[in-house]
Structure 1
Amino acid sequence: MLVLLVPDAAQVERWLQQAGIHHYICDQCHGLHLSELQGREGVLDSRLFVEEDGLLLTTEIEIRPGSLLMLLSEISRLNMTWPTLKIFIDVNDDALPRLVACDLLLGRAGVTFEQFIHFVQANVDATAQLLEECQQLGCLFGPEDETVPERDALH
């Protein structure tokens, strides 16, 4: 029997638990953080939000400032490579640039458990492939970027 539900946060959390998808809720936002992506190098946040129109899954990836122009030139290709993801760069004055990958599952008419799981898994897989691509391009901000080179004192 096909059961369509308009998912709320509690239903989404039950579905994640039922599917064995590790997640947690932080005290900073109303999103469900997906541990599988959250724990990967370069990922700042990977969250699933229950919105009025559906479910928004978004992942923010910290990128090296020096790779910003090269990555900007690759955005169209990346969006064509992963058509289910909306990929864009977020730059503000207070933080390092971020590559954002997101997807929306419209849910106002209802969603089945199978649709939900397919949506989450397809998004996680596509985002993992995007992370690998970014790593191959040398765009990810990593631990080696945090070290400040020593400078000789001026006399």
Structure 2
Amino acid sequence: MHTVVTPDAEQVTRWLEQANIQFYICDQCHGLHFSELQSREGVVDARLFVEEDGLLLSTELELRPAAIFAAQAELSRLNMDYPSLKLFLDINDDALPRMVACDLLLGRQGVTFDQFIYFVQATLDATVQLLEDCQQADWLFWPDEDDTPPPESGGALH
């Protein structure tokens, strides 16, 4: 019989270790960051938060500013293509735009280890597929994009 527990941060940490899912604890937030997903190009943050009502898994993808309109136009379709994810755009004046993909496992009444692992793996798999779709659409910001070469000083442009 499976044991149903209301997961806290310690329990979630043990379950992730038991499932061999690599993560680290950030000193700037209370999230558990997923190393494999976070190391991918275009991913700003991929983390799991233990909240009062359950577990929130959230991934932020950094978008090119020129891709905002295309991403916004496709957002309804993407939400239908990825029904387990809630997708939205986060646009601030002081940072590059981001697409946020998140999923919530309600856990106030408890969850089992199998439910937890299924939730994490299914959400990570859907997020990886979303990431690949965004890469194919050329929406993601790449770190080397801001390293544009300076204009040559050989002649004036008019």
Please classify the TM superposition score into its range, dividing by the shorter chain length.
over 0.9
Q: Output the CA distance in 2 between the equivalents of 1:96 and 1:2.
A: 44
Letter matched to residue 47 of structure 2: R
2-structure distance, mates of 1:2, 1:113? 8
Structure 1 unaligned residues grouped into runs of 5+: none
Paired with 1:31 and 1:9, the residues of 2 have a C-alpha distance of 9
How far apart are residue 34 of structure 1 and its match?
A: 0.6
C-alpha distance in structure 2 between counterparts of 1:66 and 1:116, whole Å: 37
Task: Summarize the alignment of residues 97-116 of structure 1 with structure 2, pairs less than 5 Å apart.
Answer: 97-116=97-116
Q: 2 CA distance for matches of 1:40 and 1:149?
A: 25
Asked if 1:18 corresponds to 2:18, the answer is yes
Q: CA deviation at 1:118?
A: 0.1
**Residue 30 of structure 2 aligns to a residue in which SS?**
coil
Q: What number of residue pairs does the alignment pair up?
A: 155
1:64 matched to 2:60? The reply is no
Match status 1:7 vs 2:2? no
SS in 2 for 1:132: helix
Q: In structure 1, what is the Cα distance between the partners aligned to 2:76 and 2:149? A: 34
CA distance in 1, matches of 2:85, 2:36: 17
Residue 95 of structure 1 aligns to a residue whose secondary structure is: coil
Q: Partners in 2 of 1:94 and 1:124 — Cα distance?
A: 28
Report the equivalent of 2:146: 146
How much does 1:149 deviate? Answer: 4.1
Aligned-partner SS, 1:80: helix
CA RMSD of aligned residues (A): 1.3
- Structure 1 residue 151 displacement after superposition: 2.8
What is the SS of the residue equivalent to 2:102? strand
C-alpha distance in 1 between matches for 2:35 and 2:15: 15
- 1:88 aligns with 88
What corresponds to 1:53 in structure 2?
53
With normalisation by structure 1, the TM-score equals: 0.96
Q: Which deviates more, 97-106 or 34-43?
A: 34-43
Post-superposition, which runs of at least 4 consecutive aligned residues in structure 1 deviate over 3 A?
Answer: 152-155
Note the residue ranges of structure 2 that are not aligned, 5 or more in a row. Answer: none
Q: Identity over the aligned pairs, expressed in percent?
A: 64
Shift in Å, 1:84: 0.2
Q: Select the structure of larger CA radius of gyration.
A: 2
